[in-house]
Amino acid sequence: MAENNGLATRRHFLKDGLWGACLAFLGGITGFLVSRFRKTKTVWQIDPYKCIACGNCATYCVLEESAVKCVHAYAICGYCRICFGFFGPEPFDINEGAENQLCPTGAIKRTFVEDPYYEYTIDESLCIGCGKCVKGCNTFGNGSLFLQVRHDRCLNCNECSIAAACPSGAHVRVPADKPYILKKVDHSSGRSLPEHDA
Amino acid sequence: MMRFGYIIIGISFSLILCSVVSAVERFPPPEFESGYEIPSPTTPHPRQNIYEYIDAVVLLAALSLSSYLVLKKRSRRAIFILMVFSLVYFGFWRKGCVCPIGAAQNIVLSIFDRDYAVPAVIVVFFLLPLVFTLFFGRAFCAAVCPLGAIQDFVLLQPASVPDWLESGLRLFAYLYLGMAVLFAATGSAFIICRYDPFVSFFRLSGNFNILVLGACFLVVGVFIGRPYCRFVCPYGVILRQLSRISKWCVTITPDECVKCRLCEDSCPFGAIRDPTASWPVYEYGKAKKRLAFFIILLPVLIFLGGHLGYSLKTVTSRMHDTVRLAERVYLEETSQVEGTTDASLAFRATGKEVKELYGQASDIRAQFGPAGSLLGGFVGLVIGLKLIGLSLWRQRTDYEPDRASCLACGRCFQYCPREHVRLKQAKEAVSKSQ
């Protein structure tokens, strides 16, 4: 019986030792992480300077209607009469008719400002984030249309499905207090610059 | 002199034009005469940080309450109510992310990637359940984890799984944990999140294949209790081991076991262990030999696993974007395939050298070698230790839950006659005091 007791205490001692070691290990991890953590969470965003407007954003988002939408940096826009983000490659006519439009959902509104300028605004409730207009504007225009994750819709998944499918690595984690990477323009050189450069 | 300056500016301007074609103003912004003001794009805010902290506090409260209900109150009904709350709050309201299971990957990534600083809330979500398990057993699995809760709901016709099958299937969870750590550490992917079967239910939308996978888990879960928790969950693997040495743990009986065998079949997860009355003398010599064999086999298994993991590095490294891209670009460069993909087009648009990409990819692939052998060695170690554990004889005098497998659901309490005595005494004590 005494032997049995000895066995029991040895087992308890080992178990307590292991328990203490585990607690110390967890403490160690905490200490290590505390030395290099950040207070704000991170959110997903598209770097418009890397985005190639492939269209994956429209299809890969876990939401039925993608959290990615087109955003218009009006300050860069040329307010062209013939906008390559608005009109298809070979429009029948230069007017707002649905058959002339590039956008599959007609989410871009074209309004006359003054001769010869037209304003283009995005109706976010219609935009599906396919990036067709972005491609058109980048190829032939100023590149004022670009895709952004809209954070009123984004669920902020730990692994973003779009990021996993992004061919150019444009989907990146950004701190939540600076959740957008907007295109900005540097008028002195005529270049539009990434926000972190400007 | 002024004119000279203008020429310089003009030349540099045209140089910039040539270098960054896509980011150039082909049409200068107009100067409006009608008083039109240029609007600026809207930027709706993400969910406020304060809500993240509220989530952490709710997690702490739910864990504390769950531990109290499991160990002190011993009420299946109360545990069930807390489970419903967790399913609604952590599942359907919070939409699942970030959960402690997936947070493990962020922690691993932050250890291996210097550029990734892990948000404080994720650290809390990862560590709190571990600490609670070290003290109170798997209270997290019992009533806090929304993935466990959704499976517990559908468990209607529990069937028992034979021990050998249970242990064998559980190996997958260890492998899954190892792979999740490997791919998170190399910055390839978060596979736990990618193949999470239930998060699409919480969001009520998601990838079709994953929805089908989740539906399969739920259908199986009607007969086999909590299949994801027992055979797949990588976080559960860590909790199992911590629960083995927890300070307090679930007991079927509130005081003493009368060995009435009523609780024997009460556990849908096969976690109740029968008493083992005496040592099986006649098998002693045979068992000793078997144990010695498995102890010698352990290093062999570790070595074999490590070797297999190392030799699979070409396959495993394909999880990394850069490696996949480099392979594709190589095939295109050597004209083994026709056409391009979005990724290779995007790469060529950056104007980077192909050799630079190959260099990066082979560096990453080289990392996968030792990392893969660690993973393989880990799996070998797990198999070896399992075999050793199976050939050890443990003496038990009472019916008790296996500390590792017990999910603390509280179903067995009601089966114990001593529990009914306790409840009756408690009721009498209350009525006497009134």
- Of B95, B177, B82, B99, which is closest to residue B382 (Cα–Cα)? B177
Q: What ipTM is given for this predicted complex?
A: 0.85
Residue at A24 is within a domain: no
- Put simply, the answer to whether B27 touches A80 (Cβ < 8 Å) is yes
pLDDT at B19: 38
With vertex at residue A180, the alpha carbon angle to CA A174 and CA A183, rounded to the nearest 5 degrees, is 125
- Put simply, the answer to whether A143 touches B103 (Cβ < 8 Å) is no
Residue B272: C-alpha distances to residues A81, A132, B148, B246 (Å): 77, 60, 19, 17
- Put simply, the answer to whether B346 touches A182 (Cβ < 8 Å) is no
Residues facing residue A38 across a β-bridge: B119
**Taking the CB of residue B313, how many other CB atoms lie within 10 A of it?**
20
Instruction: Convert the pLDDT of each residue in A154-179 to its tens digit.
Output: 999 999 999 999 999 999 999 888 89
**Residues of A with Cβ-Cβ distance to B23 under 8 angstroms:** 49, 143, 191-193
* Residue B280: pLDDT band with limits 50, 70, 90: low
Residue at A172 is within a domain: yes
Instruction: Convert the pLDDT of each residue in B317-336 to its tens digit.
Output: 999 999 999 999 999 999 89
- Put simply, the answer to whether B49 touches A39 (Cβ < 8 Å) is yes
* Residue B8: pLDDT band with limits 50, 70, 90: very low
- Put simply, the answer to whether A152 touches B33 (Cβ < 8 Å) is no
Domain count, chain A: 1
Cis (ω within 30 of 0) for the bond into A116?
yes
Residue at A31 is within a domain: no
CA distance A104 to A134: 13
Residue at A185 is within a domain: yes
Instruction: Convert the pLDDT of each residue in A92-131 to its tens digit.
Output: 888 888 888 999 999 999 999 888 899 999 999 999 999 9
Identify the helix (H) or strand (E) that includes residue B83: helix B76-86
Residue at A32 is within a domain: no
- Of A123, A119, A148, A143, which is closest to residue A133 (Cα–Cα)? A143
Residue at A22 is within a domain: no
| Burial bucket for residue B42 (CB in 10 Å: 0-12, 13-18, 19+) | exposed
Q: Which carries the bigger pLDDT value, residue B167 or residue A37?
A: B167
What pTM did the predictor assign? Answer: 0.88
With vertex at residue A87, the alpha carbon angle to CA A83 and CA A93, rounded to the nearest 5 degrees, is 110
Residue at A30 is within a domain: no
Query: How distant is the Cα of A97 from the closest Cα of chain B, in angstroms?
Result: 24
**Residues of B with Cβ-Cβ distance to A180 under 8 angstroms:** 43
| B49, B189, B342: residue with CB nearest A52 | B342
Residue at A157 is within a domain: yes
Domain range spanning residue A104?
Answer: 42-193
Q: Which of A33, A54, A160 should be substituted to probe chain B, the one whose Cβ sees the most B Cβ atoms within 10 Å?
A: A33
